[in-house]
A = this chain, B = another copy of it.
Amino acid sequence: MIAGRKPGCSLPRDFFVDDEIYRLDLDRIWRRSWLFVGHTCQVPEAGDYFTLEVDSDPILVIRGEDGAVRAFHNVCRHRGTLLCASDSGRAGRIVCPYHQWVYAPDGRLLGCRGMQESLDRSELGLLPVRTEVVEGLIFICLGRDPPGFEEARAELAPMLRPQGFERARVAKVIDYLVQANWKIVWENNRECYHCNVNHPQYIKANFDHYNADDTSPRIAEVLASAARSSEEKWAARGLAVTHRETGMTVFPERHWFSVNRTPLAEGYVSETMDGRRAAPLMGEYAEPDVGTLRVRAVPSFWNHSSCDHGVSTRVLPAGPRATRVRVIWVVDRSAVEGKDYRLEELLPFWQLTSEQDWSLCELAQRGVSSSAYVPGPFSTYKEYNVEGFVRWYLRQVSGE
């Protein structure tokens, strides 16, 4: 099966429709990798929680009385009932709706009235899920033996810090059920070959749809000049290095995560429809011209952040042919909706771009479901990151 893939070409049909391969994806990737689940600012106070489902595994993310954010399987240790059915809420204690077993936000079983005394309550705490927080981003790993997080933290933290996600607030969350395999969603994300025609808003603000094959001398000079001037400005303010090349930064061939700062097009200080700031400056930014900060982490996360807001996209598998996607807009904690920002200015850029992508993903799913579909060639100019993603994917599922 896995051996059947032709290098430089898209994956065979089974990878997008087959139940067994989907289960392999769950076992080898989704239950072993670090998954972005949300922002710490979604749970600002002790007892604040939100829930999610990785395939059919319900997860609870909750802030403890000690201020730490933890994740647990959202499942009672008694007879397995779903504990918190809401998308989000606040709970001083987690009380099972069925028989009222009571857990602390740190997972300890506090009470199980009606049970025999002989039970060892200390063994009946909520099943913990490994959690790491870096600069306001929450990652979890469902596996018992998670890969190290230190390298990611070392690389992500200094780049993320100026954005101030820890002092942010959620402006909007939109959930999507995309009728496409999760790998199709990633393949879409890993190239901007489709951007010119499909993302009229996005390409006005960005450079990453230019590649070796279509970067004219004039465009190359614009890019170089933008990169140069940005670099100088940012370095002066202590912001880290930029992505200077045409096309997309290489990912995920090297690591499961990646971060960079890159210039926006002339006249754009934010990824908004008109390029203007739509909300107060975030974090440590003293002026709006900071380009965009971009983070990605397979298999579940990407974020584009401008001076005034950040947009996180969370990808979760929901069957061989379906993917749950959540898009989260954050602004500075002090910003007041209607006064400091308006959703109709903040949302359209990424809402349109996202929904354009989901439509393309659904067309791709319908096509690759054909028994006649034959994997085709990737563009070496424009789809090197799709090839990179496929290689990363095959390494994971083949266990090499």
Contacts and interface: CB of A to CB of B under 8 A. Distances in A.
Given A56-B369, A115-B379, A372-B142, A364 B82 contact: yes
Interface stretch (A33-41, A93-101, A300-308): A93-101
Given A98-B363, A193-B99, A214-B114, A373 B80 contact: yes
Interface string A377-395: 1111110000000000000
Contacts of A75: 367-368, 370, 372-373
Contacts of A368: 75, 79-80
Interface string A61-105: 000000000000111111111110100000000000111100000
A211 interface: yes
A370 B79 contact: no
Interface in A339-362: 360
Nearest to A120: B377
A367 B78 CA distance: 11
A114 B381 contact: yes
Nearest to A78: B376
A75 B213 CA distance: 25
Contact of A98 (B74, B127, B360): B360
Number of copies: 3
Interface SS of chain A: helix, strand, loop or mixed? loop
Point out which of A73, A114, A214 has the most chain B C-beta atoms below 10 A from its C-beta: A114
A370 B85 contact: no
A245 interface: no
Contacts of A122: none
A374 interface: yes
A373 B72 CA distance: 11
A376 B194 contact: no
Contacts of A44: none
A77 B374 contact: yes
A127 B374 contact: yes
B367 A74 contact: yes
Given A75-B370, A372-B57, A379 B114 contact: yes
Point out which of A76, A127, A187, A373 has the most chain B C-beta atoms below 10 A from its C-beta: A373
Contacts of A225: none
B360 A211 contact: no
Contacts of A100: 196-197
A44 to B, nearest CB: 27
7 contacts: A31-B371, A73-B372, A78-B376, A80-B375, A98-B198, A98-B360, A124-B376
